[in-house]
Amino acid sequence: MRCIWAELQVITVINVALPKGRLGHKVYEMMANAGYSFDGITDKGRRLVFVNEALNMRCFWVKPFDVPVYVERGTADIGLAGKDILMERKPDVYELLDLHAGKCKMCVAAVNGFHDPIERPLKVATEFPNISREYYGSLGREIDVIELRGSLELAPVLGLSDVIVDIVETGTTLRENNLSVIATIAELSARLIANKSAYKFNGGIISEIIRRLANDTDNA
């Protein structure tokens, strides 16, 4: 008689959080090139969850800002997130690989000819209050953070803020609004992050994903 336990196989499904939007399409392409593809994922539908049974993988599109939340709490074992979001949220996760995709910079920008009004706190419009406070804190400059959601370039043009702390990729949005970079805070790109327990228990599978993605990164 064969032991029934020998028939049992524990199947581990790896859950992957992908960021919706521009960066998501770039990083998914890298995953597909590395052999991790999902039927229908690039279709123009509203579906959010995709499964590849052969790979024992499931992935889902989430708002870029939320990728670290899914990973930190273990709903996703791994995720692909922009360094800007990791700097802003400081999640308790492992940052395991720089994919060198979606390269851009976190910058301070202002209208051309800007002078710092040193007699009062600097008004900073941003989607990244923690990065802004940390950066200006390191300079000993007092700031008044104005949190906005997108189209930040409007704020200094209309006088809502003195400067913005925002992502600059090509610089086109700044140029077309008569703004320029006055300081670079950090270089940014997409990173692979992992939940700490998932990495402890499924380190072999996650390391293989990293190995394949790293090859793809080298060939990029």
Applying CB under 6 A, the residues found at the interface with ligand PRP are 150-153, 166-173
Cα separations (Å) of 82 from 19, 20, 103, 218? 9, 11, 9, 19
CB 127 → ligand PRP: shortest distance, Å? 7
Strand order in the sheet with 49-52: 49-52, 57-62, 14-19, 78-82, 190-194, 94-98
Q: How far apart are CA 106 and CA 184, in angstroms?
A: 6
Contact between residue 132 and residue 185 where contact means Cβ atoms under 8 Å apart: no
3-state secondary structure of 97: strand
Q: Phi/psi at 186 (nearest 5 deg)? A: -160, 155
Our CB check for ligand PRP shows the closer of 72 and 166 to be: 166
Our CB check for ligand PRP shows the closer of 154 and 214 to be: 154
Contact between residue 107 and residue 169 where contact means Cβ atoms under 8 Å apart: no
Burial 96-117 (b: 16+ CB within 10 A, else e): bbebebbebbbbbbbbeeeeee
Kindly state the helix (H) or strand (E) to which residue 138 belongs, with its residue range.
helix 129-139
Q: Using CB atoms, what's the residue nearest to ligand PRP?
A: 150
3-state SS string for 184-196: EEEEECEEEEECH
Our CB check for ligand PRP shows the closer of 57 and 68 to be: 68
Our CB check for ligand PRP shows the closer of 32 and 154 to be: 154
Q: How far apart are CA 59 and CA 64, in angstroms?
A: 14
Our CB check for ligand PRP shows the closer of 34 and 104 to be: 104
Our CB check for ligand PRP shows the closer of 80 and 97 to be: 80
CB 97 → ligand PRP: shortest distance, Å? 23
